[in-house]
Structure 1
Amino acid sequence: MGWRRIVRNFTPSWFAVVMGTGIVSILLRTLPYNARWISHGVAIAFFVLNIALFIVITLMSVMRYTLYPKLWTAMLGNHEESLPLGCFPMGFATIIDMMVSVCSHWGDWLIYLAWAFWWFDVVLSAATCITVLFMIFRRQKPSLDKVTANYLFPIIPLIVAAAEGSVVANALPSRSHAITTLITCYILWGIGQGFAGLVLALYLHRLTVHGLPPRGIIVSVFLPLGPLGQGGFAIQHFGVVALKLFPRSTTSLTAAPGAGPWMHGGEILHVLGTFLALCMWGFGVVWLSFAILSLAALRRFPFNVGWWGLTFPLGVLATCTGILAETLDSLFFRVMGMIFSLSVCLLWLAVAAGTLRRTWTGEIFHAPCLQDLREKERQRMSDRRV
């Protein structure tokens, strides 16, 4: 009863609130048509709010597994609850992004602090991806009808870490540190996009055979926008950073200027990144159309913490649109970026209002792994009677 019930039912899904709030702060900072009071006022207010939310949700999570240690094992054994573990490094990555964007004028020490945080986020993202996927292979083994876009949750953190790493690399004072960071980002992007492509193919097969997901998790149809939108932003921003880091006249991407007569590696990576970003943006818009049609087909579906999964995927598609507008100097992408960004902000307000209302009543706190524990306890009691 009381606060213990809230702590006991406080699942990793709550870090999606940090993701949603963080992407809003980033979008308000980088709106195509912006005003100073938004980029230096409202955006920073959302940044501060996001830090507070991250601290509170982290403390609540620590309390949960400290007071109820058995819930950690139970959570890992339940795919519905363990998959959102990836929300923690993704939410943390949005804070790192805004640290570099808002506080870089504090000095190099802040940039290197963000760099250290980023390496921690990389380790955490890789560990989450490998561990959660292995737990699915080893213990959970869900049937095809149980596969949803939520299986992208442990994979997307690698792509998000890659994208934010390029932002940090662009601000690092040391060229060698920046190049090391950028190379790491390319590796993370390749791993994340490879896994995401496999999951999207499996998810499309599941939709073909079993139809739309249940009403309770129907909002998960928006999650494919995550790897496509963030991946498109990342691969394009890698090229922007490469233009700055890699010398103009060299046959080796990282060699000193004057080492060769013909190749400019940064230009090649920039053009290739823009091409791939355009392809991924188009694919993302197709998935967005599928998602909207899916919601329209069901019309009514229950509100839960999973609704925060609507904000971040659409938000990263907006960031991809924004950098395309900047690179191509395109009015179309600039207007689309503004539409996507404002839609995410309005969506954040709607979801935040629904969350606050249901938090007050307590109905939003629900942990699927508790049902697994109850069933195990009933089975244990039944065995004892026998």
Structure 2
Amino acid sequence: MQRPVFTATRPFSQLQHPREVIRQFTPNWFAVVMGTGVLALALSLMSPTWPAVHALARGLWLLGMAQFVLFSALYLARWVLFFDEARRIFGHSTVSMFIGTIPMGLATLLNGYWLFGLPQWGDGAVPLVEALWWLDVGMALLCGVGIPFLMFTRQAHSIDQMTAVWLLPVVAAEVAAASGGLLAPHLADPAAQLRVLVTSYVLWAFSVPVAFAILTILLLRMALHKLPHENMAASSWLALGPIGTGALGMLVLGAHAPQVFAANAVLPVVGQVAQGLGVIAAISLWGFGLWWMLLAVLITLRYLRSGIPFNLGWWGFIFPLGVYTLATVRLGEVLHMSFFTVVGQVLVVVLALMWLMVFGKTVRGAWRGELFVSPCISVAKCQRS
């Protein structure tokens, strides 16, 4: 019997060769960036209550940036070194959905700049952040249209195999919308502020109705065909993503709408209405999110009976809960209601504990190499381009 090249104590012991890290690298890894970034944002909102956590939050933001750079380099290397295999992702009905995690990861890091980068580096990097945001918008729009087009024309789908991962390419525009709401007030030119704000509202509308249409089909799918396989257990939480991001986006956009519209000689009532609608929409979406979160908890408990195998899909627990947590804390600030503040603080603690668990399992799986698996390489599962 041939002896293995690598022992269990060495890195990538489960891989035939270290270059398999590149060959097997998929966009799923950018969900790690999303989860790390949203935890940093959530912890930063708790800084007035827990001052010591701000430094930790900033460290997580820097870790998220390092992750994004590393993952971008690995994924680009895959396209350069293994082009024929890399392009098969467009024919895969599941992995292709995770392309949307790339712009969502970038947007999450851009949001952190206003909390962690601006106090240290000032306004000098604002033009760079704006340029990256427009790049993020372009990627989000491309994902939101391109992946569904591939679903309609190339990929094989069926209602019984549907999961909430269908949301990933669509929600990218929604995340960019919330990010634009944070960017707009930092721009010096009022016309540029209006351009970013209006674009963000368009991005919100570009994403949210489509996401809710998918959720409607998902409810029908689960009623008719029951829960997905245990490997997709975390996907039950993904629905909380567009709900939480939709609420957060309306709050952020509405908060700055009066000033931006007024600076551009738009009727003051427009900004006031946008602000009021933002609060009402956020409250309504928060209530819907509460229903889905409780349902997701029950579904997860059901899965735990038989055990849930770990995979990168576990990061689906983190980001959706994270954006819902951000929306909860923001509602507490806007409405001056301690209920939302306390619930938000509890959710931050839960989010941090879940991140620690998933991150630890991810590091161990990455060290062994067992998480570097690309289903697109399998001819049986992927259509050749």
What amino acid maps onto 1:110 in structure 2?
A: A
Q: Match of 2:144, SS? A: helix
CA distance in 1, matches of 2:47, 2:360: 27
Q: Which residue of structure 2 lines up, in the alignment, with residue 312 of structure 1?
A: 319
Q: Does the aligned pair in 1 maintain the 2:204–2:246 contact within 8 Å?
A: yes
Matched, 1:255 2:262: no
* Residues 140 and 237 (structure 1), Cα distance of their counterparts in 2 relative to 1, 3 Å cut: same
* Residues 303 and 241 (structure 1), Cα distance of their counterparts in 2 relative to 1, 3 Å cut: same
CA distance in 2, matches of 1:155, 1:375: 22
Q: 1:285 aligns with which of 280, 284, 290?
A: 290
Q: Does the aligned pair in 1 maintain the 2:30–2:102 contact within 8 Å?
A: yes
Q: Which runs of 5+ in 1 are unaligned?
A: 248-252, 378-386
Matched, 1:170 2:182: no
Q: Which runs of 5+ in 2 are unaligned?
A: 1-15
Matched, 1:155 2:170: yes
Matched, 1:137 2:142: no
Q: Match of 1:352, SS? A: helix
Matched, 1:120 2:139: no
* Residues 147 and 365 (structure 1), Cα distance of their counterparts in 2 relative to 1, 3 Å cut: same
Q: 1:325 aligns with which of 325, 328, 332?
A: 332
Q: 1:3 aligns with which of 15, 18, 28?
A: 18
What amino acid maps onto 2:337 in structure 1?
A: S
List aligned pairs for 1:234-383, cutoff 5 A.
234-247=249-262, 254-255=264-265, 264-299=269-304, 300-372=307-379
Q: Which residue of structure 1 lines up, in the alignment, with residue 39 of structure 2?
A: 24
* Residues 374 and 138 (structure 1), Cα distance of their counterparts in 2 relative to 1, 3 Å cut: closer
Q: Which residue of structure 2 lines up, in the alignment, with residue 381 of structure 1?
A: none
Deviates most, 327-336 or 286-295: 286-295
RMSD: 1.7
* Residues 36 and 144 (structure 1), Cα distance of their counterparts in 2 relative to 1, 3 Å cut: same
Q: Shift of the alpha carbon at 1:269?
A: 1.1
Q: Number of paired residues?
A: 366
What amino acid maps onto 1:191 in structure 2?
A: F
CA distance in 1, matches of 2:154, 2:355: 35
CA distance in 2, matches of 1:242, 1:375: 46
Q: Does the aligned pair in 2 maintain the 1:100–1:111 contact within 8 Å?
A: no
What amino acid maps onto 2:212 in structure 1?
A: G
CA distance in 2, matches of 1:138, 1:239: 38
Q: 2:114 aligns with which of 100, 103, 111?
A: 100
Q: Which residue of structure 1 lines up, in the alignment, with residue 57 of structure 2?
A: 43
Matched, 1:59 2:73: yes
Q: Does the aligned pair in 2 maintain the 1:32–1:334 contact within 8 Å?
A: no
Q: Which residue of structure 1 lines up, in the alignment, with residue 6 of structure 2?
A: none
Q: Which residue of structure 1 lines up, in the alignment, with residue 243 of structure 2?
A: 228
What amino acid maps onto 1:119 in structure 2?
A: W
* Residues 373 and 206 (structure 1), Cα distance of their counterparts in 2 relative to 1, 3 Å cut: closer
What amino acid maps onto 2:70 in structure 1?
A: V
Query: If the length of structure 2 is used for normalisation, what is the TM-score?
Result: 0.91
Q: 1:219 aligns with which of 228, 234, 237?
A: 234
Q: Which residue of structure 2 lines up, in the alignment, with residue 382 of structure 1?
A: none
Q: Shift of the alpha carbon at 1:174?
A: 1.9
Q: Percent same amino acid among aligned pairs?
A: 33
Q: Match of 1:154, SS? A: helix
Q: Which residue of structure 2 lines up, in the alignment, with residue 380 of structure 1?
A: none
What amino acid maps onto 1:332 in structure 2?
A: F
Q: Does the aligned pair in 2 maintain the 1:32–1:322 contact within 8 Å?
A: no
Query: If the length of structure 1 is used for normalisation, what is the TM-score?
Result: 0.91
